[in-house]
């Protein structure tokens, strides 16, 4: 059993009790521990046997575009065919359309194994889930019948077409147009860029969810509508969707990132006109949780390599005396700073994984809670935690991968060890589905200040309850949690006052606030794990959990204080310098 598989079982069964959690949902036959374990085992077997061996192949070969058609790297198509044959795409799909009907959080078990083994490949089926969720939530019965069965089976895949060359993350600037056809469909024309899995040879058809605006639509985000635009139309004829180019990227070479040209392509309106932005967040919020997890998964893969290397690599002697006197040098594992890097990786990876599964349980409750109160309470917490999962975990996950490179030294900088590919592959997670800065503004501006801190207050109550569980057995962790609750609350109240006076304070403080919030939420996760581990501290695995929890509180959590000090410095230190002095007189025209 891999270390991540053992850790996942610990989270699913010991810390969060997912079988008990599922029994409290509106599910006819909730999955128990045997089924969950079987899914974990089989997913790991598929990832180990089919995806891991073609990961470096995908990186080396990349995708090829010829005559508007993309060919994926060797082995990708065969792996996808087997993936569908084993019914993995249907795991959490609606049973009315051929799905297995399992709770949404079970998809995280699958996501974890796939992304750890081969992120570029995993993105092809992964993007379909956002399309499925948008159609399930907002599509008409006809839309669902037309598209869901083949998306859920994996026969078709899906994409999200949001970004345009001139607009970037500002979707309100989108120029893609929708004009009505006589048959009730719509003619979609425009250009979308950075479309992951936008064209490929794995599936028979690709279903694009496209944001576009009508000619008379209001300006900005209020005038955006959502359409389904299939590559092959429902009548079997090619639609007017062409891949104009694929991006030459820093990483994830095995996934085709496309420029898509829509030239009066037939589209089908989803839901109501001018409601596309609201619908988009159905896709985006689920995708943001997954992207945060992707960074943690790649960090796990990097840690596994670094840990093995630290055991085997002999270099220098321990400062306190030889630890391997029969060898010409000691393994680098004995050196304190190598241990610091490995422990930091463990703390981030295992804490981050816990945060993702905790968030996954909240998603289940919002979708399948037995009463409105349960769904609403879960929704408040989920709303608050989503930008933290995406923004914070991608940042610290990427740092953890860089620590793996550092442990390898010069060998980490060359392709042979594989960790440099992980650095390149992971870098995109800080950018797509909304950059760290966008997540930070969303957290502080929308999820905290605009909502009067509802999510923070709810999470603070959970932290206070957990501190009570720590009393008497983990007093140091209890004190740390209580200190965080007060500091976090006081800091937020003070920020609200200064932002009300100067809106620039919001942008100046937001990223540091995101990081503070991330370190605080991971403290909660580590304390939850420590409470369970303390009950069986004699077991080496549990003892390791306790040791890592205390390392987190003593050596990682203090970073939150530095972010607090930085955000309290205010906006003036950012805005007082002139534009010309800041840019050293760089030309405003870019020449």
Q: Which of 198, 119, 202, 199 is nearest to 155 (CA)?
A: 202
What is the pLDDT at residue 389?
Answer: 98
Confidence (pLDDT) at 253:
98
CATH architecture of 3-153: Orthogonal Bundle (1.10)
Residues in the chain with pLDDT < 50? 591
539 burial level (CB within 10 Å; 0-12, 13-18, 19+): exposed
> Tell me, what's the pLDDT at 591?
47
Q: How many residues can be counted in the chain?
A: 591
pLDDT for 413? 97
Going from N- to C-terminal start, the domains of the chain cover 3-153, 156-274, 436-575
Whole-model pTM over 0.85: yes
Q: Are 163 and 232 within 8 A, CB to CB?
A: no
Helical (H) or strand (E) element with 125 = helix 119-138
**pLDDT at res. 213:** 96
User: Within 13 Å of residue 314, how many CA atoms lie on the same side as its CB?
Assistant: 9
Distance of CA 467 to the CA centre of its chain: 28
Rounded Cα gap, residues 227 and 179, in angstroms: 11
Residue whose C-alpha is closest to residue 124's, from 70, 61, 199: 199
Element (H, E) at 258: strand 257-269
Please list, in sequence order, all residues whose beta carbon lies within 8 angstroms of the beta carbon of residue 558, skipping any fewer than 6 positions away.
none
Q: Tell me, what's the pLDDT at 587?
A: 59
Cα–Cα distance between 257 and 241 in angstroms, integer? 15
pLDDT of residue 109: 95
In this prediction, residue 275 carries a pLDDT of: 94
- The confidence score (pLDDT) of residue 1 equals 59
Can you read off the two tokens belonging to residue 73?
């790297």
- Give the C-alpha separation, 64 to 50, whole Å: 21
- Read off φ and ψ for residue 331, nearest 5 degrees: -65, 145
Specify the pLDDT at position 538. 85
Structure confidence at residue 168 (pLDDT): 65
- List the catalytic residues: 433
- Sign of the torsion formed by the C-alpha atoms of 434, 438, 443 and 446: negative
Interatomic CA distance for residues 228 and 143, integer angstroms: 9
CATH number for the domain formed by residue range(s) 156-274: 2.40.110.20
Q: In sequence order, which residues have a C-beta less than 8 Å from that of residue 455 and are 6 or more positions away? A: 380, 381, 383, 384, 385, 447, 448
Sign of CA dihedral 149, 152, 155, 156: positive
Give the Cα-Cα-Cα angle 148, 150, 155 (nearest 5 degrees). Answer: 150
**pLDDT score for 576:** 94
């Amino acid at each position: 059993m891999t270390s991540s598989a053992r850790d996942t079982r610990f989270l699913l069964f010991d810390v969060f009790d997912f079988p008990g959690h599922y029994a409290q949902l509106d599910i006819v036959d909730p999955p128990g521990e045997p089924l969950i374990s079987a899914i974990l085992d089989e997913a790991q077997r598929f990832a180990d046997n089919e995806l891991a061996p073609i990961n470096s192949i995908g990186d080396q070969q990349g995708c090829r575009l010829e005559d508007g058609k993309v060919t994926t790297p060797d082995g990708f198509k065969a792996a996808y065919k087997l993936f569908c044959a084993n019914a993995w795409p249907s795991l959490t799909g609606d049973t009315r359309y051929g799905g297995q009907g399992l709770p949404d959080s079970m998809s995280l078990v699958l996501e974890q194994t796939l992304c750890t083994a081969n992120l570029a490949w995993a993105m092809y089926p992964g993007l379909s889930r956002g399309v499925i969720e948008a159609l399930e939530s907002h599509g008409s019965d006809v839309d669902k019948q037309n598209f869901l069965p083949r998306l859920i089976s994996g026969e078709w895949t899906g994409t999200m077409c949001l970004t345009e060359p001139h607009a970037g993350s500002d979707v309100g600037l989108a120029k893609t147009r929708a004009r009505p056809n006589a048959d009730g469909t719509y003619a979609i024309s425009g250009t979308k860029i950075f479309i992951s899995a936008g064209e490929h040879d794995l599936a028979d058809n690709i279903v694009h969810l496209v944001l576009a605006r009508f000619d008379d639509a209001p300006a900005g985000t209020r005038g955006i509508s959502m359409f389904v635009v299939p590559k092959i139309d429902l009548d079997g004829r090619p639609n007017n969707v062409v891949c104009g180019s694929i991006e030459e990227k820093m990483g994830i070479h095995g996934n085709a990132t496309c420029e898509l040209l829509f030239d009066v392509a037939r589209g089908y309106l989803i839901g109501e006109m001018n409601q596309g932005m609201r619908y988009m967040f159905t896709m985006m919020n689920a995708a943001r949780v997954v992207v945060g997890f992707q960074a943690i998964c790649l960090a796990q893969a990097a840690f596994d390599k670094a840990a093995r290397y630290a055991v085997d690599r002999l270099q220098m002697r321990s400062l306190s005396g030889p630890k391997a006197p029969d060898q010409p040098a000691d393994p680098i594992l004995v050196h304190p700073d190598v241990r610091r890097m490995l422990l930091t990786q463990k703390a981030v990876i295992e804490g981050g994984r816990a945060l993702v599964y905790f968030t996954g349980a909240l998603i289940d409750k919002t979708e399948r809670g037995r009463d409105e109160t349960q769904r609403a309470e879960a929704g408040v917490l989920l709303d608050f935690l989503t930008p933290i999962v995406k923004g914070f975990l991608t940042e610290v996950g990427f740092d953890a991968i860089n620590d793996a490179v550092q442990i390898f030294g010069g060998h980490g900088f060359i392709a042979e060890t594989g960790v440099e590919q992980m650095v390149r592959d992971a870098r995109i997670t800080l950018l797509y589905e909304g950059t760290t800065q966008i997540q930070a503004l969303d957290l502080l501006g929308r999820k905290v200040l605009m909502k009067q801190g509802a999510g923070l207050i709810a999470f603070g109550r959970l932290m206070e309850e957990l501190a009570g569980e720590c009393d008497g057995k983990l007093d140091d962790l209890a004190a740390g949690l209580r200190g965080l609750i007060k500091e976090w609350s006081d800091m937020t109240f003070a920020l609200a006052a200064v932002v009300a006076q100067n809106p620039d304070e919001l942008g100046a403080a937001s990223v540091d606030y995101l990081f503070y919030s991330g370190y605080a939420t991971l403290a909660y996760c580590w304390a939850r794990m420590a409470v369970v581990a303390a009950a069986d501290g004699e077991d080496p695995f549990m003892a390791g959990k306790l040791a890592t929890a205390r390392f987190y509180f003593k050596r990682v959590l203090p970073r939150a204080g530095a972010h607090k000090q930085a955000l309290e410095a205010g906006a003036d230190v950012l805005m007082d310098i002139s534009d010309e002095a800041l840019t050293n007189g760089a030309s405003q025209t870019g020449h």
